Amino acid sequence: MASSTGFSLNFSPLSTSLKHNQVPLHGISNVNLLSLPSLRIRPGPMRLRVSCAAKPETLDKVCSIVRKQLALPEDSSVTGESKFAALGADSLDTVEIVMGLEEEFGISVEEESAQSIVTVQDAADLIEKLVEKKDA
């Protein structure tokens, strides 16, 4: 059974004829448009994107490993949004981080997957996926 601790949904409409803050409601009688002031609508084809975030404890472990591998001070800000390059990691550092993650979580990360990791959150999400796969 899969679990997730967070998710996000992003929508964009098929039609560009709507006002900035109105969304069509199909299948609801007597209502054509709903005004949503906080919803931003961008012209383009309808897309739905769902992304699940890793468990907080996985993200915390990844942050700790990144901090250790890059010899960052304990009080330095490393979050899910932190990019490895912005933290000062070069390609060798990134390889060492991946090796540390593999050891800590008992997983093996393929080279193609490792190359797609840009942020700490990317790494945590990949780990969750690989751990789930390993335990299945």
The C-alpha torsion from 39 through 43 and 49 to 51, rounded to 10°, is -60
d(CA 99, CA 95): 6
Active site residue 75: no
Tokens encoding 102: 């593999």
Say if CB 51 and CB 8 are below 8 A apart.
yes
Tokens encoding 39: 């919803």
**Choosing from 60, 75, 90, 125, which is the catalytic residue?**
90
d(CA 3, CA 88): 33
d(CA 114, CA 95): 8
Active-site residue set = 90
